[in-house]
A = this chain, B = another copy of it.
Amino acid sequence: MATAPGSEPSLARKLRQFEPLAPGDVAALHRLLAAKVQQVGAGIPLIEEGETPLEMHVVLSGWACRYRRAPNGRRQIVAFHLPGDICDFSVFLMRQMDSTVAALSDMRVASISRAALAEFTQRWPRLAQGFWWESLCAGSIQREWLVRNGQRGARERIASLICELAARLYVVGLADDGGFELPLTQYDLADACAMTPEHTNRTLRELRKLGVVTIERGRVWLDDWDALCALAQFVPSYLHFRQTYAELRPPNTQTPATLELA
């Protein structure tokens, strides 16, 4: 699906949210990502908790999730890794992974060794800065998840997670005003939103009845993006995208206000 060989990697599209890239940058990035590409089947872990990380990963296509298990065995998904996402830049400073990253769908992943990364960041400081920016954004998203799960009800949690995913996928060209592919089960959504699968199910039904969004296994239909954002009280500034809200939104809708994001 995404990132056919020869096309521009999702990561390049995303880094443009931080700063413009020269053709040389894009080509260098392409070479870095093309050096070692792995196919990973749905459900397969990329890195497991307790392991010593030997490679940094960049998602080329498909989704992964990062999770930790609570002492009682319950799983908390702490992040989704979408195409263009870097899983743990600076991971080499860790002796042991503190969480597990596993594929949610079949994916293509670029694996980058410590040495290759060191050489690359030396040679391409602007891209290295972009990597750090990406990692800051991931941290900001992590904080937003804490706010979301801590301070909001079930409907709002699901709705605002969907808004986030739509916005993140949109900048890499994997969402449009109709919706996007969603390789998640209701169990996955539940574990991300800290809810039970049963209550997640009922909440999804509610959102559909409200006419704002239809969430099925495999696909999200954004039935009414404005209403969804309003319900979710989605304030996308935490994503730190350079684009305006208008540009982030589905192209055929009008923007109430043009917010400059940082």
Interface centre among A18, A150, A240 (most CB of B within 10 A): A150
In the assembled complex, the Cα of A139 lies from the Cα of B91 at a distance in Å of 11
Are A90 and B136 touching (Cβ within 8 A)?
yes
Question: Min CB distance, A66 to chain B, in Å?
Answer: 8
Which residues does chain B contribute within 8 Å of A235, judged by CB atoms? 71
- The answer to whether A237 and B146 touch (CB under 8 A), given A136-B93, A151-B70, A151-B194, is no
CB-based contact B140/A142 at 8 Å: no
Tell me whether A185 is interfacial, beta carbon within 8 Å.
Answer: no
> How many A residues, CB 8 Å from partner?
42
Is A145's CB within 8 Å of the partner chain B? yes
Q: A3 interface residue, CB < 8 Å from B?
A: no
Q: A146 to B146, Cβ gap below 8 A?
A: yes
CB-CB nearest in chain B for A94: B136
Residues of A130-159 whose CB lies within 8 A of B: 132-133, 135-136, 139-140, 142-147, 149-152
Q: Does A224 contact B (CB under 8 A)?
A: no
The interface stretch among A95-103, A162-170, A244-252 is A95-103
A169-195 with Cβ < 8 A to chain B:
194
A98 to B146, CA, bound (A): 13
Of B98, B135, B150, the contact of A240 (CB 8 Å cutoff): B98
Residue A72 CB within 8 A of the other chain: yes
- Closest residue of B by beta carbon distance from A156: B71
> CB within 8 Å of B: which of A34-71?
52, 66, 68, 70-71
Instruction: Check A147–B262 contact: CB distance below 8 A.
Output: no
Q: Find chain B residues with CB under 8 A from A194 CB.
A: 149-151
Give residues of chain A (203-222) contacting chain B, Cβ–Cβ below 8 Å.
none
A82: Cβ under 8 A from any B Cβ: no
Q: Which of B90, B99, B129, B143 contacts A78 (CB 8 A)?
A: B143
Partner of A139, one of B76, B139, B149: B139
A18 — which chain B residues lie within 8 A by C-beta?
93
Q: Distance (Å) between the CB of A262 and the closest chain B CB?
A: 3
**Which 10 A-B pairs give the minimum distances between C-beta atoms?**
A150-B194, A95-B262, A96-B262, A71-B233, A70-B151, A76-B147, A78-B143, A98-B140, A74-B151, A93-B133
- The answer to whether A78 and B146 have CB atoms under 8 Å apart is yes
A147 touches B68 (CB 8 A): yes
17 contacts between A and B (CB under 8 A): A68-B144, A70-B147, A70-B151, A70-B152, A71-B233, A90-B132, A90-B135, A94-B136, A95-B240, A96-B237, A96-B262, A98-B237, A139-B139, A142-B143, A145-B146, A149-B149, A149-B194
